[in-house]
Amino acid sequence: MRVLSGIQPSGSLHLGNYFGMMKRMVEYQQNNELFCFLVNYHALTTVYDAALLRKQTFEAACDFLALGLDPSKSVFWVQSDVPEATELTWLLANVTGIGLLERCHSYKDKTAKGITPSCGLFAYPVLMAADILLYGGEKVPVGKDQKQHLEIARDLAMRFNSTYGETFVVPEADIEENAALLPGIDGQKMSKSYGNTIKIFSDEKDLREKIMRIITDSTPVDRPKPVAGNVLYELYALFLNKKEKEHLKERFLTPGLKYGDVKKELFGVIWEFFEPYRKERQKLAEDKQYVVETMRQGARKAREVAAVYLERARRNVGLDYWN
Ligand code: ADP
Ligand code: TRP
């Protein structure tokens, strides 16, 4: 099965990214053909600082590699190293109804948060569809927030195929219900664009500070604490197995629990969980040449696949005027 997904280098990668997508991608590389990429064209819709985009792209590459993405078992690259994606975006744009894009929650949420409603932001789902169709992606592991974008990618693949003849694989979303939509420290969706994340690789001080800031309700200590919709409980539960989760739930339901104590505990759990990857992450960050060369090699592999799909699409729409 060809499994494919991308992530924006628009900020430091966080627990939502990890549980919603990265962890599963690393697991999938064992028994599937894995295609994984850093979508820096997409990041241009929100990042207007070139130095920052460069830095974040490099850091995202280090994060993935440190967390176990193995470039010898997968195809791992930076989106803009395969510019074919932008050409396919244009071909797809012509089978994309405006209404489809106007209904996108992500576009509405981002503009409501004050992000400039540019043409790029509006067309974001078309570029994302191109990313998927260009490589014949069958299964796409994403968080729940990307469900609608995946539906658009499916819709465009079907429309293109029915308009011009069989060209693309129709992809399917793969959403992990347990980590469908992780809340950030303020209770909204954890997102790089909302400044409410817990980074995977933050330093000790920053991690502690973020965890202490997790929003909690004002239930008195001598009362049972709610678990449904409790951000602290939801984040902690991610690191626990079924039995441990039951135990945590029981502790929340027993009067006397102090949120402050749970936060201190959670800090330890998260710090320890990522400990094995931290050294590797540091090593990679100090070896820029290796990381860059790894990404370049990945792009060469990706480009070979992209060339086949793009050529077919060009021919099917009639750009091959010489024939
Ligand atoms: P962000 O919203 O932080 O910019 P991206 O849009 O780059 O994150 O998302 C990268 C991947 O991580 C996607 O598959 C997305 O669905 C997943 N993801 C992002 N935030 C969350 C979250 N809060 N909960 C679950 N998955 C998430
Ligand atoms: N839009 C996705 C996100 O914000 C990132 C993305 C871009 C993507 N292209 C993709 C995800 C292709 C899966 C497949 O998370």
41 and 145 housed in the same domain: yes
Q: Give the ligand with the smallest distance to the CA of 22.
A: 1
Ligand number, closest to the Cα atom of 6: 2
Helix, coil or strand: residue 5: strand
**176 & 220 share domain:** no
Whether 137 and 28 have beta carbons less than 8 Å apart is answered as: no
Query: Are 105 and 239 found together in one domain?
Result: no
Q: Output b/e per residue, 180-209; b: 16+ Cβ within 10 A.
A: ebbbbbebebbbbbbebbbbbbbeeeebbe
CATH of residue 57's domain is 3.40.50.620
- Residues with pLDDT less than 70, the chain: 179
User: Which DSSP string do the residues of 138-193 spell out, in sequence order?
Assistant: -EEEE-GGGHHHHHHHHHHHHHHHHHHSS-S---EEEE-GGGSS-B-TTSSB--GG
Residue 6, φ and ψ in degrees, nearest 5: -130, 165
Residues 207 and 304 in one domain: no
Q: Are residues 64 and 171 in the same domain?
A: yes
Here the CATH number for the domain that contains residue 211 is 1.10.240.10
pTM of the model as a whole: 0.93
CA 272 to chain centre: 23
Domain extent at residue 311: 2-181+287-317
The answer on 148 and 82 residing in a single domain is yes
Closest ligand 1 atom number to CA of residue 193: 4
6 and 155 part of one domain: yes
pLDDT of residue 321: 97
Atom of ligand 1 nearest to the CA of 143: 16
- Give, for ligand 1, the residue of 12, 14, 21, 151 to mutate: max count of ligand atoms closer than 8 Å to Cβ: 21
The length of the chain in residues reads: 323
Ligand 2, atom nearest to 4 Cα: 14
Residue nearest to atom 14 of ligand 1 (CA): 142
Distance of alpha carbon 180 from the chain centroid: 12
Q: Per the domain annotation, does 323 fall within a domain?
A: no
- 282 found inside a domain: no
Residues 82 and 14 in one domain: yes
pLDDT value of residue 180: 72
* Confidence (pLDDT) at 104: 96
- Please give the positions annotated as active site: 110, 189, 192
Give tens-digit pLDDT for 152-190: 999 999 999 999 999 999 999 999 887 678 999 999 999
Ligand 1 centroid–CA 168 distance in Å is: 25
Ligand 2 contact, 192 CB (< 6 A): no
Six token digits for residue 223: 């009362």
Ligand with minimal distance to 184 CA: 1
Domain check: are 172 and 236 in the same one?
Answer: no
Q: Answer yes or no: do 258 and 294 share one domain.
A: no
Q: How many domains does the chain have?
A: 2
- Shared domain for 133 and 250, answered yes or no, is no
